[in-house]
Amino acid sequence: MARILDQPRYKCAMAAMQTVHGITRALPILHAGPGCAEKLNGSPGSSGYFSPHIFPCTNISENEVIFGGEERLKETVANSLKVIDADLYVVLTGCASEIIGDDVAEIVGNFKDAGKPVIYASTPGFKGNNYLGHEWVLQAIIEQYLKPAAGKVKGLINIWAGIPLHDPFWLGNLRALERLVEELGLTPNTIFGHGRGLKNIDKIPEAELNLLISPWLGLNSVKLLERQFGTPYLHYPTLPIGAFETSKFLRAVGECTGADRQKVETIIAGHEEEYYYYIERFADVFLETRVMAKSFAVVSDAQYTLALTKFLANDLGLYPSKQYITDDTPEEYQEQVAGYFNELNYGVQAEVGFSSDGRQIQEEIRNTDFHGYPLILGSSWEKKIAEETKAHYLAMSWPLIERLVINSTYVGYDGGLRLLEDIYSIVLTRFN
């Protein structure tokens, strides 16, 4: 019997068009049917130069399926170069074009002297979801566009974290990570969002280090960069939220880059002093209302489920019930990712479930004894189960339909305080 996936938390691989849109003045060109393009173009924002609703598409139909779509693709790329002023053109393939066997590499190769870079990534939905598609776009940039650098730039660090547009907080997270790295006297380099784009992509081979902040996504890319350009990488699996994890993050980056240890500790001490000043000011609020949410469940991708679990357990002292990872984490990473949830303070360990089936997740939450009003952090899909269980509920991952996130972030010391504001603003409504 066919398995039906209820309430999916990701899109097909060709939604990596959002990764392309996250690069200022980069343009995705879809080699797919019009239905695919229509379903994937929805987004509340883009890099700001191209709307996510503007992209060339071959709109292949029955004719191309029978006779091939290579000429159609060649014509679409040529016309895109003529009428759309972009810095980088990225061809993405859908299921139909992959099944009929169009030689996209050859077609794209015809434009090597076009004056603007044209690359391609194989992104049919039957190969994977948009998390994998994101990495395939990065790998296409590395293999087809980047050139070896004349030398390394001292202190230049490439930062990789999250999926543009799909992650509602992608841009705020990157900027917060940049600020943290800058405090250590390093020069961060990111390629997504305002003021970055192709000029920052060109700097990638010049970096002394690739810094990956992710439980698993991006590992293949930083390993590829190490092979291609000899750039070592630091894999820090936890997105740093709050004082405990952010201080740990700064120490790890400082040690890896040889930063002065005393300087790092001085930076941390200053941040922690201010952070705990605010915590102490509102300690009564946290203590009086903690009984309203003794335990919690996070339903999100590996990045947020891990980061939020560590913050709520380590900084706030809440107890994790079963936590859910919904990004279809590849099996080869699941054991390693699950192990990160055993690294909580006070000897606490969290059970982890890898599932993309909203019905299954919500049934388990429904049958969980939270010992009071639970705290549920997840997507808009979790709103109904939160109402059923009388939970405190904060929507913060895709699909997110009830909040507008422009440049907010929960990363860092200030990000942790902002998350506390959002959670306890909801908790306090129970007293009204």
Q: Which residues contact 261 (CB under 8 A, 6 or more apart)?
A: 254, 255
The answer to whether 312 touches 375, Cβ cutoff 8 Å, is: yes
For the stretch 296-319, pLDDT in tens is 999 999 999 999 999 999 998 888
User: Could you count the other beta carbons within 10 Å of the beta carbon of residue 279?
Assistant: 18
Which CATH number describes the domain made up of 13-144?
3.40.50.1980
CA-closest candidate to residue 139, choices 209, 195, 68, 218 = 218
Write down the pLDDT at residue 44.
Answer: 52
C-alpha to C-alpha distances, 400 to 262, 272, 323, 395, nearest whole angstrom: 42, 31, 19, 7
3-state class (DSSP) for residue 72? helix
Measure the CA angle with vertex 116, ends 114 and 120; round to 5°.
90
Number of alpha carbons in the 13 Å side-chain half-sphere of residue 84: 24
Instruction: Give the start-to-end residue ranges of the domains of the chain.
Output: 13-144, 156-268, 278-431
Q: How far apart are CA 190 and CA 197, in angstroms?
A: 8
Question: Which residue in the block uniquely carries the two structure tokens 């191209």?
Answer: 50
What does the pLDDT read at residue 320? 93
Q: What is the DSSP string of 253-290?
A: HHHHHT--HHHHHHHHHHHHHHHHHHHHHTHHHHHHHG
Helices (H), 7-94: 17-21, 34-40, 62-67, 70-83
Burial of 406 (0-12, 13-18, 19+ CB in 10 A): exposed
* Secondary element (H or E) of residue 305: helix 302-310
Amino acid 1: pLDDT: 37
Collapse the DSSP code of 149 into the 3-class scheme (helix H, G, I; strand E, B; otherwise coil) and give the result: coil
Query: pLDDT truncated to tens, each residue of the chain (432 aa)?
Result: 345 667 888 889 999 999 999 999 999 999 998 888 777 755 555 445 676 677 898 988 777 777 678 999 999 999 999 999 999 999 999 988 888 888 999 999 999 999 999 999 999 999 999 999 999 999 999 999 999 999 999 999 999 999 999 999 999 999 999 999 999 999 999 999 998 999 999 999 999 999 999 999 999 999 999 999 999 999 999 999 999 999 999 999 999 999 999 999 999 999 999 999 999 998 888 776 654 557 899 999 999 999 999 999 999 888 899 999 999 999 999 999 999 999 999 889 999 999 988 889 999 999 988 877 889 999 999 999 999 999 999 999 999 888 899 999 999 999 999 999 999 998 888 766
Q: In one letter, which amino acid is 241?
A: I
Q: What is the pLDDT of residue 40?
A: 74
Looking at CATH, the fold of the domain delimited by 278-431 is given as Rossmann fold (3.40.50)
Nearest-angstrom CA–CA distance, 347 and 345: 5
State how far the Cα of 302 lies from the Cα of 308, in Å rounded to an integer: 10
Prediction pTM value: 0.93
156-268 maps to which CATH number?
3.40.50.1980
Q: Please tell me if the domain spanning 156-268 has the same topology as the one spanning 278-431.
A: yes
